[in-house]
Amino acid sequence: MKILVAVKRVIDYNVQIRVKEDGTGVVTDNVKMSTNPPDDNAIEEAVKLKEAGKATEVVAVSVGEEKAQETVRKALAVGADRGILVKADGVIEPLAVSKILQKVVEKEKPDLVFMGKQAIDDDCNQTGQMLAALLNWPQATFASKIEVKDKSLEVTREIDEGLETIEVNVPAIVTCDLRLNEPRYASLPNIMKAKKKPIEQITASDLGVDTKPRIEQIKVEEPPKRKAGIKVASVEELVQKLKNEAKVI
């Protein structure tokens, strides 16, 4: 079973995001970038399946600028066998990413595509679903447990009411939740070994996909600053303030 895993390069989740002065976006220059966190879970799960003898090859793919190669390289350092970088500049919206991934799937013919449930930069939660629609493959989103059966997967997914378990036939798209597993750290010897693993580079236009944005971003602004709180002396005072000042009860 061959698994393709989509990994996105995003601003590191520990970075305090700053909006550009002209309101055209957020500052990315000299900002630490990392793999989108649930994509680390997706890679980890694929590598675990390979270690368990249930997967034969794990291929990591990223769409983005040249530097996204670092993200692919990190996936190789934690156990992916080879990488693909699809070069495309600027903002690549989920529809364009899913069209690119569709072309990569048609070429690579994986049995499974693992992705993150959501990218922490755009918060779209769309790419996996769109890819499943484009390929006409079943999808299991928000996976917090995956069990490989003969020609299907049993996936436990987090929903508002609790946990739901579904069975999907392979080939399938699975989008991974943070609770799925504990991603490993890349050891120094594995980082060195990853430098020798192949990364194929292609461009979005080689695949015939138009990546021109369809959404116009009008303005980005900081959320309003939170006002300082006050301390109250008693529950009675709190209730009185909530009633008469905040008028929320």
Residues from 15 through 74 that contact ligand AMP (CB under 6 A): 36, 38-39, 62-64
The CA-to-CA distance between both ends of the chain, in Å, stands at: 58
Name the amino acid, one letter, at 55.
Answer: A
Q: Which is nearer to ligand AMP, 50 or 94 (CB)?
A: 94
Q: Tokens 């015939």 sit at which residue?
A: 208
C-alpha to C-alpha distances, 28 to 10, 64, 212, nearest whole angstrom: 9, 14, 20
Closest CB 214 distance from ligand AMP, rounded Å: 14
Residues from 169 through 228 that contact ligand AMP (CB under 6 A): none
- Residues contacting 114, CB < 8 A, separation 6+: 3, 4, 5, 6, 42, 43, 45, 46, 174, 175, 176
Residue whose Cβ sits closest to ligand AMP? 116
Name the amino acid, one letter, at 110.
Answer: P
User: Is position 6 an interface residue for ligand AMP (rule: CB under 6 A)?
Assistant: yes
Closest CB 136 distance from ligand AMP, rounded Å: 18
Q: Which is nearer to ligand AMP, 70 or 122 (CB)?
A: 122
Residue 157 φ/ψ region, left for φ over 0, alpha for ψ in the -120 to 50 degree band, beta for the rest: beta
Closest CB 144 distance from ligand AMP, rounded Å: 15
Query: Contact with ligand AMP (CB under 6 A): which of 124, 134, 170, 202?
Result: 124
Cβ–Cβ < 8 Å for 101, 113: yes
User: Is position 116 an interface residue for ligand AMP (rule: CB under 6 A)?
Assistant: yes
Query: Contact with ligand AMP (CB under 6 A): which of 65, 111, 122, 154?
Result: 122
Q: Which is nearer to ligand AMP, 127 or 156 (CB)?
A: 127
Q: Which is nearer to ligand AMP, 32 or 230 (CB)?
A: 32
Taking the C-alpha atoms of 157, 158, 162 and 168 in order, what is their torsion angle to the nearest 10 degrees?
-20
How big is the site for ligand AMP, counted in residues (CB under 6 A)?
A: 22
User: Is position 3 an interface residue for ligand AMP (rule: CB under 6 A)?
Assistant: no
Q: Which is nearer to ligand AMP, 95 or 186 (CB)?
A: 95
C-alpha to C-alpha distances, 196 to 70, 86, 87, 192, 199, nearest whole angstrom: 13, 19, 20, 8, 9
Q: In this structure, how many other beta carbons lie within 10 angstroms of the beta carbon of residue 200?
A: 13
Query: Contact with ligand AMP (CB under 6 A): which of 55, 78, 104, 115?
Result: 115
- CA-based nearest residue to 63, from 30, 36, 95, 97: 97
Measured between alpha carbons, how far is 222 from 232 in angstroms, rounded to an integer?
Answer: 30
Q: Which is nearer to ligand AMP, 126 or 190 (CB)?
A: 126
Q: Which is nearer to ligand AMP, 82 or 241 (CB)?
A: 82
**What is the binding site for ligand AMP (CB under 6 A)?**
6-8, 36, 38-39, 62-64, 92, 94, 97, 115-116, 118-119, 122, 124-128
